[in-house]
Chain A
């Protein structure tokens, strides 16, 4: 049981000495300013953040490798040995990571060679949950609640899967809709509280994460429990309720990936082409100005959290009707929190989120291979991911490391 609390990334502590934002936005709170500050970083910052995180990861891999340690013991007798050991250790680890995530010629079976499809499988819920965070970000909201929304989505989808008996096709559609509904419900609560009472969405969504985790455990011990099991797990999803496998039974990649791509296109259209999306971006840039321009900010908060919740709920369906095929208390894993990093790394654009999710999917698929083949703890992957958050959330740090001048983009647009 992992406690989700320590993983909640608190992007950019507010006391961070940001380099004199002369155009200090007014009154809409520190949160909005931090969002804009983060989003003002350009793609170069994202790429550099990943590279620096990988370099620090490499240092950790080298330092913790006993081969390097023993070679360093006779550094002056044979300095080359230490360099070789460091090179061997880092290239073993990252080589295994890369091969595991893409193509591994050393694997025994042809399906085992094609790790790229595992990458896509792991990326699927991350894309959907990342879009949820992205959409809320662009409206000026920190949706820390993707985790809870995924859990609710998975629970609703699971219930629709176990309790209904519908024909092929229809059953899956109902499961998907139920998942979206569950997520939307959970996101909507935060949206309504924000719009009607001004309750800060960060606090509300974090609390809703805990409630969701406790709720699903309760249901798994009672209504949703598999009668044949002594553990708190649900029955298996019936075949009709599962996403079809895209590449046959040898691969786990399922149609949820197609749904995720569709969601990327839909969110892209929503944000950049629709009136609603224009409102969201206006609210995200400056809620006061948006209100002055005649937009109803509270309605924007509610609808965006409904949609964001629904997207996270779809990520839940990718778990329960895609890879896991049953509901348990860990169904959301750390996806809801990784989604925040994915959205940050993707600079809160739909396609940026897509590619960031692919990268994180690759970390996940390759991390297993790295742990097995290079004997490097999979925790290194978590370290690299956390460092990425750190560097993304503190753009001034990366800027000063690489002497990049701060370039202000227009608002928070792509």
Chain B
């Protein structure tokens, strides 16, 4: 190594490099040392000792979907309440249990496990650590006194999105497709299709839904949550069949759908996109010019509420069900497409939201949490 250096570098060059490096260090290192006083003064001494933890499923905390929104929710909770936090990402199913065991070892007061894939591991570790609390997102199968299921009646918000989509459709066809035909996906499609149907009934129109059959519970699926091009393919199929508002319910495949729509609109079409899980204008701003609205699961708020309750000793294993009423689900503002939606439709949507909350309008999906 030394010989190599000697052989290739000229003495002058070496000196120059050293000088440069030292100057850079000098400049970088000139800051003031902080005083010894100070330190995070937490308002609540109980909060400072409280440990909130989160374990992702194999999507990781940067999935632009429920892992990410739950994670950001907990981070915000940490900032708001002054609690401590630990996190662990899983890359495969084999990581779930070791990650949860480590959280128990660390003494996490409350551990959020994101996704129904973690149900088995959560159940096992929660049974072994009866003094610790758990909350599992998108799963309602565990009945233990220290586990709180967090589920969403997404159909309610998707219903509003379906109504809005039908109202702006010029071709009389709207479309949707899913990643895999599982309840957490099909609940969006059910709500969307029901919303379109309700629009037809009220307005005497006949807007068709492509890609999902509520009665048969079957439709268009990419059979993946990973391969973004499959989203492009499915979207092109729907556009080819005449749909001009499309709701992909397939996590990252939404990007594939957005790209397909941007390309189609360049070719003279006028197709709009409905995002899911988070407000697409914030999480996928590249598509804001085509984003009609988003069907949002506000996981962050559920995470914060549950943590706050637990911190105050009010943990309760009854399922948290996100609805329009408690703000757990919602549709995003129309943002850039504000002008595409008529004032009539907007007031109808506001009324519809009230009616769903009051129960005057029933939104039913086989996948709705009971």
Query: Which of B31, B106, B182 interacts with A373 by CB under 8 Å?
Result: B106
- Mask of A359-381 contacts with B, CB within 8 angstroms, 1/0: 00000010011011101001000
Let me know if A73 and B29 touch, CB within 8 A. Answer: yes
CB distance from B102 to the nearest CB of A (A): 4
CB distance from B141 to the nearest CB of A (A): 11
Comparing B90-98, B230-238, B320-328, B338-346, the segment that makes contact with chain A is B90-98
Task: Answer yes or no: A104 CB below 8 A from chain B CBs.
Answer: yes
Let me know if A72 and B28 touch, CB within 8 A. Answer: yes
Task: Answer yes or no: A328 CB below 8 A from chain B CBs.
Answer: yes
Q: Contacts A74-B32, A107-B105 hold; do A368 and B95 have CB atoms under 8 A apart?
A: yes
Task: Answer yes or no: B331 CB below 8 A from chain A CBs.
Answer: no
Taking CB atoms, residues of chain B closer than 8 Å to A78 are 33
CB distance from B28 to the nearest CB of A (A): 7
Task: Answer yes or no: B25 CB below 8 A from chain A CBs.
Answer: yes
Question: By CB atoms of chain B within 10 A, which of A74, A113, A368 has the most?
Answer: A368
Task: Give the nearest-CB partner of B124 in chain A.
Answer: A249
Let me know if A328 and B93 touch, CB within 8 A. Answer: yes
- Mask of B76-102 contacts with A, CB within 8 angstroms, 1/0: 000000000011110111110111011
Let me know if A108 and B32 touch, CB within 8 A. Answer: no
Q: Contacts A108-B105, A231-B182, A323-B94 hold; do A371 and B89 have CB atoms under 8 A apart?
A: yes
Task: Answer yes or no: B19 CB below 8 A from chain A CBs.
Answer: no
CB distance from A88 to the nearest CB of B (A): 15
Task: Answer yes or no: B128 CB below 8 A from chain A CBs.
Answer: yes
Sorting the interface of chain B by its residue count into under 10, 10 to 19, 20 to 34 or 35 or more gives 35 or more
Taking CB atoms, residues of chain A closer than 8 Å to B215 are none
Cα distance A369–B100 in the bound complex, in angstroms: 10
Cα distance A76–B33 in the bound complex, in angstroms: 9
Task: Answer yes or no: B104 CB below 8 A from chain A CBs.
Answer: yes
Task: Answer yes or no: B103 CB below 8 A from chain A CBs.
Answer: yes
Query: Which of A74, A319, A328, A372 interacts with B102 by CB under 8 Å?
Result: A372
CB distance from B296 to the nearest CB of A (A): 24
Let me know if A74 and B91 touch, CB within 8 A. Answer: no
Sorting the interface of chain A by its residue count into under 10, 10 to 19, 20 to 34 or 35 or more gives 35 or more
Query: Which of A73, A106, A231, A401 interacts with B1 by CB under 8 Å?
Result: A401
Cα distance A369–B99 in the bound complex, in angstroms: 8
Task: Give the nearest-CB partner of A328 in chain B.
Answer: B93
Query: Which of A2, A74, A112, A319 interacts with B105 by CB under 8 Å?
Result: A112
CB distance from A272 to the nearest CB of B (A): 34
CB distance from A4 to the nearest CB of B (A): 12
Cα distance A328–B97 in the bound complex, in angstroms: 16
Q: Contacts A108-B107, A324-B94 hold; do A72 and B88 have CB atoms under 8 A apart?
A: no
Taking CB atoms, residues of chain B closer than 8 Å to A373 are 86, 102, 106
Some 11 contacts from A to B, beta carbons below 8 A apart, are: A75-B28, A106-B105, A107-B105, A108-B104, A108-B107, A108-B129, A231-B117, A252-B97, A323-B94, A324-B93, A401-B1
10 further interface pairs, Cβ-Cβ under 8 Å (given A73-B28, A76-B26, A108-B129): A74-B30, A75-B29, A81-B33, A108-B107, A109-B129, A118-B101, A319-B94, A333-B92, A333-B94, A372-B105
Where the two chains meet, the residues of A that have a C-beta atom closer than 8 Å to any C-beta of B are 1-2, 72-78, 81, 100, 104, 106-109, 112-113, 118, 230-231, 250, 252, 319, 323-324, 328, 330, 333, 365, 368-369, 371-373, 375, 378, 400-401
Where the two chains meet, the residues of B that have a C-beta atom closer than 8 Å to any C-beta of A are 1, 25-26, 28-34, 53, 58, 86-89, 91-95, 97-99, 101-107, 117, 128-129, 180-183, 226
